A and B are shown apart, each in its own frame.
Chain A
Amino acid sequence: MTVLNIGPALSETVEFFSQFRCKLYFIDLFDDLLELTSAADHTASPQQLLSESLQFPRDTRFDLCLFWDLFNFLDREAIAALQDILRPHLHSDSLAHGFAVHNRRTEQCGKVYGIQEMDQLSTRPRPAALPGYSPYNQGQLEKILDCFCVTRSVLLPDSRLELLLRTTLQN
Chain B
Amino acid sequence: MAIFDRHKNKETPPKAPEPVLEEPVATAPPSPTLSPKTARSIAMIGPSIKIKGEVSGDEDLLIQGQIEGTVNLKNNEVIVGESGQLSADILAKTIKIDGKVIGDITGTENVVISKLGNVRGNIIAPRVLLEDGAKFKGSIDMDPGDVAGKSAPQGAKEPTAFPSQDNKAPRLDLKSG
Contact = CB atoms under 8 A, between A and B. Distances in A.
A119 B29 contact: no
A15 B28 CA distance: 12
Contacts of B143: 21-23
B11 interface: no
Interface in A22-56: 22-28
Interface string B119-149: 0000000011111101111111111111000
A118 B5 CA distance: 12
Given A119-B17, A156-B21, A18 B3 contact: no
A95 B174 CA distance: 8
Interface stretch (A71-79, A100-108, A121-129, A131-139): A121-129
Contacts of B167: none
Interface in B127-177: 127-132, 134-146, 162, 165, 168, 170, 172, 174-177
B39 interface: no
Contacts of B130: 9-11, 14-15
Given A11-B30, A28-B137, A120-B22, A20 B174 contact: no
Interface residues of B, number: 44
Contact of B162 (A21, A97, A152): A21
Contacts of A63: 3
Given A14-B140, A26-B138, A20 B6 contact: yes
Given A26-B136, A26-B140, A20 B21 contact: no
Given A1-B4, A9-B130, A118 B170 contact: yes
